[in-house]
Amino acid sequence: MLFSDMGGIDIEEVAETHPDHVGRRHFSNLLPISDFAAKECIASVGVTGSRLNRLTPILTRLARLFVERDMTLAEINPLCELEDGTFVALDAHMDMENEARPRQKALLHELGVGHEETRQAREATEFELAGEAVDAQDHRGVAGNVTEFDGDLGLVIGAGGGSLTLFDAVRKYGGKPANYCEIGGNPSVEKACGLAKLVLSKPGVDKIAVMMSIVSNTRVDIVARGVIKACLELNMDPAEKISIFRIPGAWEEEGFKILDHYGVRYADRTTSMHEAAKLAVEAS
Amino acid sequence: MSILINEDTTFIVQGITGREAVNLTRECLDYGAGAKVVGGVTPGRLGREVHGVPVFDTVKQAVDHHGGPIDGSVVTVPPAFTKDAVFEAIENGIKLIVIVTERIPRRDVAQMVELASLRGARIIGPNCLGIIVPDVIKMGGIGGPAKDAAKAYTSGPIGVISRSGGMTTEMSSTLTAAGLGQSTAVSIGGDAIIGSSYAELMPLFEADEQTEGIVIYTEPGGRMEAELAKWVKENNSRLPIVAFMAGRFMDEMPGMSFGHAGTIVEGKEDTAAEKIARLAEAGITVAEEISQIPEIMKSKLGAPANA
């Protein structure tokens, strides 16, 4: 928990410019939240007297709210003192984490927060919503987390860390990604196909690069089947539309056989993720 | 040697009858010397077997059947039940808990980590693939089926710590191809709160004679890299560290989450640029590409101490 007697401005800024005006204290998540922790936190910046005694329960209750309602942030700023010595919250900011939504349904309903209001910084685009629909079509693995960008190079990439690495790598070599996405956890052929079709159909996208870090759970052959199926269903030639397929790992022999059959250029683990990204940029 | 686990480590798998857990059990039994998976727990499934491993209703039954303390547990139960499963493991004397489960609410994770700390237990994860000591043992899905794990991991002097499970294998494979084996590789998990951070694992690697250098995979979000930099500076570590930072593009997109639950730029300290600067201050080299890591590490290992 944090307390500052310099309200009204961003707490990060106060912490940088006036560290002695920010009290910090850890509190237990196992024990019931007790007043003394808040009292210590507030007193540490020099607040005493009746102010301390009036402020303590406010911070305690805010901490309880934070824990019980699965918040990632619960902030009252500014908190104002009236002439009679009482305090009023003039503004507050609360964030609930997505993972806890299922068990906070009643509160969300009461506040009128709908399912579509995520914590992302901007509203989902049509392309991104279509990506969600692809991922939701069955429960096997992930082929989604699609984010739209305005470039022309289509990406079918994975997994979590692999996607972050590959997206950076494409940009490092001058490529302009049309999208970000993640495949992982061994998705079905249908899901891999759906994702590839979505990216291939995006206006301005000519080719896709299919790349992942070494897979151990996701099967290479299943992703290969999915992306080839996507090309064929769109009446496109996989050899022409897939600029590079770089997914080494589990079932790679079977996967590479399928890719060979359709003449798709692929690479194994001896081609680094950055080299694969470079090849993708050069081919686009 | 190794950190956290060795060929004598005994562990159970909680949620063992789930599809992924059945595969994971097979992989651990097959890898290296063969892990000592002494039991599995799925409530209501007492008396079954998974690849010859006996299944129990409770952790207590597994401990009683084993006839003594069990070292570890791999927890694969759904997010709503994970906290209870981890509490059950800790209260039955288990000291090393690998939590594979994704999407566990943070409050539950904070409570699990706090109880573990009170009881002297250690949590790896959540949202991780576990631990591997090349050619000896693996605890969790890390590296996949035994034959795939054997392709990527070899025994040697490098400790690997990674916020991404898949990238643990990618980086270890790159090290292996360059002739640098690994002492132990740990997938620490991608959530905002995890049981063991870089700085918390460093003392173990520091004390391990086999380990001569550390490679880490890192991302935007959180304070773990700042803590590592601080630890390195304060403890005069003997181990050279090479880092790779993914997700640099996220610096331009505050408030958007990519890759893992804990990977989000919410403040200046969360950015890739800020983290790279902090790591560099502590003498940690941040490689531009993964393929450069082995050469950078080799030059650091070849250099005289403290150079």
State the best of A164, A181, A246 to mutate against chain B, taking most chain B CBs within 10 Å: A164
Torsion of CA B132, A167, B283, B273, to 10 degrees: -140
pLDDT surpassing 70 at residue A203:
yes
Task: Say which DSSP state B128 is in.
Answer: -
Domains of chain A: residue spans and CATH: 2-111 (3.30.470.20), 126-283 (3.40.50.261)
Question: Is the preceding peptide bond at A78 cis, omega within 30 degrees of 0?
Answer: yes
pLDDT tens sequence across A166-186: 999 999 999 999 999 999 999
pLDDT tens sequence across B126-144: 999 999 999 999 999 999 9
| Minimum distance, in Å, between the CA of residue B279 and any CA atom of chain A | 18
At A21, the amino acid letter reads H
pLDDT tens sequence across B242-285: 999 999 999 999 988 899 988 888 888 899 999 999 999 999 99
From first CA to last CA, the distance across chain A in angstroms is: 50
Question: Is the preceding peptide bond at B304 cis, omega within 30 degrees of 0?
Answer: no
pLDDT tens sequence across A86-143: 999 999 999 998 889 999 999 999 998 887 676 667 888 999 999 999 999 998 899 9
Give dist(CA A77, CA A89) in Å, integer: 7
Judging contacts by C-beta atoms under 8 Å, the chain A residues touching residue B217 are 161
Higher pLDDT, A217 or B200: B200
User: Are β-strands B122-124 and B130-133 bridged in parallel, bridged antiparallel, or unpaired?
Assistant: unpaired
| Minimum distance, in Å, between the CA of residue B4 and any CA atom of chain A | 22
**Are B166 and A171 within 8 A, CB to CB?**
no
For the beta carbon of residue A277, count every other beta carbon within 10 angstroms.
29
Judging contacts by C-beta atoms under 8 Å, the chain B residues touching residue A153 are none
| Paired tokens of B276 | 């790279």
Give dist(CA B227, CA A16) in Å, integer: 18
At A51, the amino acid letter reads R
Which residue in A46, A179, A77, A165 sits closest to B263, CA to CA? A165
Strand ranges for A6-131 from DSSP E? 22-24, 71-76, 79-81, 87-89, 92-96
**Are A99 and B105 within 8 A, CB to CB?**
yes
Query: Average pLDDT over chain A, rounded to whole?
Result: 94
Which pLDDT does position A212 carry in this prediction? 98
pLDDT surpassing 80 at residue B305:
no
| Minimum distance, in Å, between the CA of residue B258 and any CA atom of chain A | 7
Which pLDDT does position B267 carry in this prediction? 83
Which residue in A219, A217, A229, A234 sits closest to A264, CA to CA? A229
Q: Is A10 exposed, middle or buried (0-12, 13-18, 19+ CB in 10 A)?
A: exposed
Which pLDDT does position B306 carry in this prediction? 47
Domains of chain B: residue spans and CATH: 10-302 (3.40.50.261)
A120-124, B95-99, B286-290: the lowest-pLDDT one: A120-124
Report how far apart, in Å, the C-alpha atoms of A58 and of each of A12, A54, A62, A111 are: 21, 7, 6, 22
In this complex, the residue of B80, B141, B163 whose CB is nearest that of residue A216 is: B141
Specify the pTM: 0.95
pLDDT surpassing 60 at residue B166:
yes
Give dist(CA B90, CA B123) in Å, integer: 10
Give dist(CA B35, CA B7) in Å, integer: 7
% pLDDT > 90, chain B: 93
Which pLDDT does position A261 carry in this prediction? 98
SS3 A108: helix
**Are A97 and B263 within 8 A, CB to CB?**
no
Which pLDDT does position A67 carry in this prediction? 95
pLDDT tens sequence across A41-62: 999 999 999 999 999 999 999 9
> Stretch B196-201: mean pLDDT, rounded?
98
* Cβ atoms of residues B135 and B143 within 8 Å: no
State the best of A65, A182, A217, A218 to mutate against chain B, taking most chain B CBs within 10 Å: A217
| Paired tokens of A267 | 């690479």
At A73, the amino acid letter reads L
Judging contacts by C-beta atoms under 8 Å, the chain B residues touching residue A121 are 253-256
* Cβ atoms of residues A179 and A204 within 8 Å: no
Mark whether B66 is an active-site residue. Answer: no
Which residue in B187, B145, B185, B150 sits closest to B29, CA to CA? B145
Which residue in A136, A124, A131 sits closest to A146, CA to CA? A131
**Are B110 and A119 within 8 A, CB to CB?**
no
**pLDDT band, very low/low/confident/very high, at B1 (cuts 50, 70, 90):** confident
For the beta carbon of residue A260, count every other beta carbon within 10 angstroms.
10
**Are A161 and B114 within 8 A, CB to CB?**
no
**Are B152 and A272 within 8 A, CB to CB?**
no
SS3 A248: coil
ipTM over 0.90: yes
**pLDDT band, very low/low/confident/very high, at A12 (cuts 50, 70, 90):** confident
* Cβ atoms of residues B104 and B126 within 8 Å: yes
Query: Which residue in this structure is represented by tokens 């402020």?
Result: A55
Strand ranges for B100-178 from DSSP E? 122-124, 130-133, 137-139, 155-162
Which pLDDT does position A125 carry in this prediction? 93
Which residue in B142, B220, B230, B218 sits closest to B182, CA to CA? B142
> Stretch B279-298: mean pLDDT, rounded?
97
Report how far apart, in Å, the C-alpha atoms of B191 and of each of A88, A99, B44, B87 are: 35, 11, 30, 19
In this complex, the residue of A70, A120, A165 whose CB is nearest that of residue B246 is: A165
